[in-house]
Amino acid sequence: MPHLQIEAERALNRLHAAPSLVDHRAERARNRLHAEPAPPRVIEIGEITAGIAVPEPGGVRFFASSRAFAPLDGTVYRSVEQAARAARDRFRDRTRPAAQARGPRLQAV
C-alpha cells in the first residue's frame, strides 16, 4: 500500500507543479518588454521603392532607397503610415514642382 501513497503524491505534485517552459514564446509575447518587434516595412509609391521603415523605440526610422527621398533619410516618424505619407508628399512635390508651395504636413518625432 505504501506505493499507492507514493503514486498519489506524485500525481498531486504533477497537478500543482509549475507549467513547463516548453511554450515560453507565448509567455514572452504577452509581456510587452519581450514582444517580438514589428518587421521592417518597404514603402513603395506606385512602382518606385521610396525606402524602408525600421521600427525602433518611439516610432519608425525611414531609410531612403534613392536620392529622390534622401531628405527623408534617417527621420523618425510615429508610425509606418506617417513615413509613407511623407514619402508620398515628397514624390508628389518632385513630380509636380509647380504645385502649391506649402510647408511639410508631417512633423518628425
With b for 16 or more beta-carbon neighbours within 10 A and e for fewer, the 89-101 pattern comes to ebbeeeeeeeeee
In sequence order, the β-bridge partners of residue 54 are 61
Q: What's the whole-number mean pLDDT along residues 85-101?
A: 79
pLDDT digits (tens, 9 = 90+) for 9-59: 777 666 555 555 556 666 666 666 666 678 999 999 989 999 999 999 889
pTM assigned to the model: 0.57
Confidence at residue 48, expressed as pLDDT on a 0 to 100 scale = 92
Strands 48-56 and 59-64, by their bridges, are antiparallel
Name the grid cell of 82. Answer: 506617417
The answer to whether residue 99 scores a pLDDT higher than 50 is: no
